[in-house]
Structure 1
Amino acid sequence: MLSLIKTHAKKHYQLQIAITAVFILIFNIGTLFEATMNTRVIIGGIGIFAIYLLPTITYFTEKEKSFFKTFYVLCYIGFEILIVIRTIYRYLYPQNLIISNDLFDSLYSICLFLLTLIGIVGFLLLVKENQDHKIKKLLNDKNQFFSIISHDLRGPLGSSVSLSEILLENIEQYSREEIKEISEMLHDSNKNIYKLLENLLDWSRVQTGMIAFNPKKLLLNALIQENIELGKNVALHKNIRILFESADLIEAEVDQNMISTILRNLLSNAIKFTDKNGEIKIKLQKINHQVEISITDNGIGVPENIKEKLFKINGKVLQKGTENELGSGLGLLLCKEFVNIHEGEIWVESEIGKGSVFKFTLPLKAV
């Protein structure tokens, strides 16, 4: 029930397991000390009520509601009410049978059967609704995916074709310096195409489950330093300093390719949105049972209306870099997917004109 009602229900589920274990223990202790059958029925009734109370309350604290969810929860509320009434009745009128032949227990059994039947129908309708929702989301993501391809790939490809055409038709009229300048522009355009295609390919592979998750024990300090070296040339072009800060050597079980992709994309964005002579700080630290990696720049910042769209496929982000660098936003989508696979979190803190801080966490498991 919890898994269908609430997406992040892991803690609640663990609490349900704990409640179940406690009442099983109490019931068995009662049996061991030869408690009456009526007492055992009351213990069982209170236990079942406690177990199903949590998901029922959880539903009403949830923002997203639907007809079938409400229908399903109402069945559980009815079930809870029946349990309470029967427990009170057994307390007031003790009996030494699990189910007696009196009118009340007969009515209780009939109502319980009807509620179970209705609940099964509600459950099946709720499962169908959830499946329909997932299919709709996949179709929307697919449409957005093709929209990104058609819009964002057309720009750099068009530039590349135009520049190569100019160079081909007028090469004899240009000086060596002009040819070099056009070639550099062509090279930059091709690099953008390659990066976009690489992100598109990785993102599509994640969506289709084709990327394998291969965590290994790695020194994160060395992995970060390695990716800083890869981004240094681009940073030097804008005279941007990249600083790395870590008080400890931290090891974790991570997928090297995924974490490198996250670091490259976040570092690339930081360089893109930082002015010349700026500074980027990368910080690695342990916080409780997690590793937190933050990439801070003193660039142009992220507007509030863009923040909430950064990690969503259906949120089109249009923001150029300090030198009119273009981006599709796919890099951040990829970062979120890879962080989720590691069971971590990613977010941004930013202020216009003062820069941005992109942070992500990874669970620090025993290695």
Structure 2
Amino acid sequence: MLNLFKKHRDDELEKRIDCLRSILLFKEVDHSTLRKIATVLESCEVKKDERLFNKGDRDYSLYIVVRGKVKAHDGNHTFATFGPNQYFGEYSLLDSSARSTAVTAMEDSVLLRLHQEQFNRFLQKIPSLSRALLLGLVWRLRDYNVLEAELTAKNLEIKKQKEEIEQQSKELEQLNQMKDKFFAIIAHDLRNPFSTVLSLSELLAKEFANFDQNNLQMFIEQIYKYSNKTFNLLENLLQWSMLQTGRLTPKPQMANLADVINDTIDLLKGTAHNKSINLYWALPTDSYAYFDVNMITTVVRNLISNAIKFTPQNGEVVVQVDAEPDHYKVSVIDTGVGIPDEVIQKLFRIDSNPTTLGTNEESGTGLGLILCKEFVEKNGGTIGVRSVVSKGSTFYFTVPRIEVKKQ
């Protein structure tokens, strides 16, 4: 019977030693010292909802939960809970500060307690304990450093994710703006010319015999005008939608800007002549560069068309090409109405791109400059504008002189 009791006591003691060994503070303490400490651990019982100690109490003890569950809390706010083989209050062995939280049993619980006074006696009697505790604290510091490194890595990951989410949010906002612009164009800019063409066509179909030659000529010109505008708008919409969905990609090659500019001036000379505008290319010369011919042709055509549109009768539109070391700069200079600074800020933007009637009431699609910007940038260039109200504007863009290798 005595042997059985001794075995039971030894088993309980070993369990206490195991509990102490799980505490990082005692990580480096030898078994014999842990055994001595284990023998002075006091058992204490707390019933459910009973306080072990209150916030502000001078309770200088380490506690190990043997059975049950307790919580560290301040009022109704719970900071942590502790179950079997978990511990709390190890710093109370070294520091005589008041308790920062209250501890209450969440269910009937049994705990082991090591008081600071008993701990200090061991420190005085066993010199090696201090060194072992110091090593334990060093381990704790290392663990904190590892944890800090992990938290830093996590924070960087969270920051990166946040930046990605913000970028996705901006892209989503831009897509919404594009969608709104798309529907606005369809709802207004497409509907109006279609309505006009349908009305005029219906009138011609029903009353053809009642109109004289001059009226018929006027109706046909109006139908052509609005049909042409609608076709241009649809073409711009098609190109724009293909850009957004990645179906329209640049196919750059070495080509002569002179051919693009000459062909465009020949195409638009009639329009300029109708407004008595002098359209010409200053100092024409061959200018070989690396670009997608179709895209840059669209850019040149849009910029010259706009210049003619916003230049009054007897004005002037000049195309100028300047050679830089790594690119050509193409400028379309007009003597038109100019653009206010507040409007310049809105150009090239899908969310606020303004449309203005020309000097002869010419209307635009609201997409021309946006397409120009995207086409130029996809060809490795930049686009911009300088303008003075009532004196004219200069729209310019660049194209690389040689192939630019992508990083």
Q: TM over 0.5: same fold?
A: yes
- Please say if 1:216 is aligned against 2:235: no
The amino acid that maps onto 2:297 is: S
The SS at the match of 1:153 is: helix
The SS at the match of 1:311 is: coil
Instruction: Provide runs of 4+ in structure 1 moved above 6 Å.
Output: 101-106
Aligned to 2:336: 299
Alpha-carbon deviation of 1:260? Answer: 0.5
Aligned to 2:278: 241
Cα contact 2:289–2:327 (8 A) shared by 1: no
- Separation in structure 1 between the aligned mates of residue 262 and residue 276 of structure 2, nearest angstrom: 18
The amino acid that maps onto 1:121 is: I
1:115-154 Cα deviation digits (max 9, x unpaired) = 1122223322332332233223212211221112211112
- Separation in structure 2 between the aligned mates of residue 174 and residue 113 of structure 1, nearest angstrom: 85
- Separation in structure 2 between the aligned mates of residue 363 and residue 108 of structure 1, nearest angstrom: 52
- Separation in structure 2 between the aligned mates of residue 184 and residue 247 of structure 1, nearest angstrom: 35
The amino acid that maps onto 2:259 is: A
Cα contact 1:301–1:350 (8 A) shared by 2: yes
Aligned to 1:199: 236
The SS at the match of 2:346 is: coil
> What fraction of aligned residue pairs are identical, expressed as a percent?
35
Cα contact 1:350–1:356 (8 A) shared by 2: yes
TM-score by length of 1: 0.68
Aligned to 2:363: 326
1:317 to 333, 337, 354: 354
2:223 to 186, 206, 210: 186
- Separation in structure 1 between the aligned mates of residue 362 and residue 228 of structure 2, nearest angstrom: 12
The SS at the match of 2:250 is: coil
Cα contact 1:217–1:253 (8 A) shared by 2: yes
The SS at the match of 1:195 is: helix
Q: Which moved more, 1:208-217 or 1:113-122?
A: 113-122
Structure 1 gaps of 5+ residues are 1-100
Aligned to 1:155: 192
The amino acid that maps onto 2:172 is: I
- Separation in structure 1 between the aligned mates of residue 284 and residue 267 of structure 2, nearest angstrom: 23
1:1-367 aligned at under 5 Å gives the runs 108-246=145-283, 248-365=285-402
- Separation in structure 1 between the aligned mates of residue 383 and residue 141 of structure 2, nearest angstrom: 55
Cα contact 1:239–1:278 (8 A) shared by 2: yes
Q: Which moved more, 1:201-210 or 1:229-238?
A: 229-238
- Separation in structure 1 between the aligned mates of residue 140 and residue 270 of structure 2, nearest angstrom: 84
The SS at the match of 2:359 is: coil
- Separation in structure 2 between the aligned mates of residue 183 and residue 209 of structure 1, nearest angstrom: 38
Alpha-carbon deviation of 1:254? Answer: 0.5
Cα contact 1:279–1:298 (8 A) shared by 2: yes
Cα contact 2:291–2:400 (8 A) shared by 1: no
The amino acid that maps onto 1:287 is: E
1:28-70 Cα deviation digits (max 9, x unpaired) = xxxxxxxxxxxxxxxxxxxxxxxxxxxxxxxxxxxxxxxxxxx
Greater C-alpha Rg: 2
Which has more strand, going by share of residues? 2
Cα contact 1:246–1:285 (8 A) shared by 2: no
Q: CA distance change for structure 1 residues 124 and 290 in 2, over 3 Å: closer, same or farther?
A: same
1:88-107 Cα deviation digits (max 9, x unpaired) = xxxxxxxxxxxxx9998775
Which has more helix, going by share of residues? 1
Cα contact 2:311–2:359 (8 A) shared by 1: yes
Cα contact 1:281–1:297 (8 A) shared by 2: yes
